[in-house]
Structure 1
Amino acid sequence: MRAVIQRVTQASCTVDDQITGAIEDGFLVLLGVEDEDTKEDMEWLGNKIANLRIFSDENGLMNKSIQDIGGNILLISQFTLFAQTKKGNRPSFIRAGKPEKAKPMYENMAKLLSDLLGKKVQLGIFGADMKIDLRNDGPVTIIMNTKDKDNY
């Protein structure tokens, strides 16, 4: 499971000219799932996201978590995080999870993050052509990979 976590002052997702989710002050999380991902991977990543201290404290240091600031999350499924570009110029997405595996993992991650934050997580639509607008704050962008936990 891979995630790109962007600290934002605002973010929204639009599908077919309808806003499916919108937030202020929090994280835009792009989530990629592969077939080998487990519930343990999801729980590890969800807890890391909820406790990641990348919001400024009163001294301007990144010491506060999204929970500390009462922030919000916009969670977007993104299979392209598993693009393989080693061979040729057209990316291969063979490592991306099949929809029957990836969609429930995405939905379960949304529930886990909602439970951890004590509020509803805003969502995109799995498999849809989504348009994402955001204002990256900092900019601060963190990448995590559950298959490489020692480096995250």
Structure 2
Amino acid sequence: MKAVVQRVIKANVTVEGEVISSIGKGLCVLIGISKDDTKKDMEYIARKLLSIRLFENDQGKKWHLSVKDKGYEILCISQFTLYHVLKGNKLDFHNAMAAEKSEAYYKEFLDLIRVQYQADLIKG
């Protein structure tokens, strides 16, 4: 698994002009799932997302608190393109998990984070 993490004041996902999901302050995370990913990979990324210290504390000390410490939201977006390989001028996605399998894996990942944090603060 790969995760591209960005701190945000607000974030949303829109499809054809319709907002599918949105959050306030927190993390926007692009999640790439490899064809070789296991439950152990999922658990590792979930643990890191919830504990990585990206926010300042009340005294202004930067990189001191996690999203969990602050009670912020997380918006996860499945992004198979994180597992691309350049082949000439074309992208090859053979390292990404197949769509049918990755959808279930992604939902299981979201459920895992919801159990470890607050379900209503995790959006996908």
Q: Shorter-chain-normalised TM-score: which range? A: over 0.9
1:62 aligned partner: 63
In the alignment, the residues of structure 1 paired with residue 7 and residue 119 of structure 2 have an alpha-carbon distance, to the nearest angstrom, of: 18
In the alignment, the residues of structure 2 paired with residue 67 and residue 75 of structure 1 have an alpha-carbon distance, to the nearest angstrom, of: 15
In the alignment, the residues of structure 2 paired with residue 117 and residue 15 of structure 1 have an alpha-carbon distance, to the nearest angstrom, of: 27
1:17 aligned partner: 17
Q: CA deviation at 1:80?
A: 0.3
TM value normalised by structure 2: 0.92
Q: How does 1:2-151 map to 2 (within 5 A)?
A: 2-57=2-57, 58-85=59-86, 87-120=87-120, 121-123=122-124
Q: CA deviation at 1:16?
A: 3.0
Aligned AA (1:65): S
Q: CA deviation at 1:64?
A: 0.2
In the alignment, the residues of structure 1 paired with residue 117 and residue 76 of structure 2 have an alpha-carbon distance, to the nearest angstrom, of: 13
Q: CA deviation at 1:59?
A: 2.7
Cα deviations across residues 119-149 of structure 1 (Å, max 9, x unaligned)? 32112xxxxxxxxxxxxxxxxxxxxxxxxxx
Cα deviations across residues 59-116 of structure 1 (Å, max 9, x unaligned)? 332110001110101110000001111x312111111110122111110111111122
Q: What is the RMSD computed on CA atoms of the aligned residues? A: 1.1
Unaligned runs of 5+ in 1: 124-152
What's the secondary structure of 2:24's corresponding residue?
Answer: strand
Q: CA deviation at 1:34?
A: 1.4
Unaligned runs of 5+ in 2: none
Report which structure shows greater RCO (CA 8 Å, sep ≥6): 1
Q: Point out 4+ residue stretches in structure 1 off by more than 4 angstroms.
A: none
Q: Share of identical aligned residues, percent?
A: 35
TM value normalised by structure 1: 0.76
Aligned AA (2:93): F
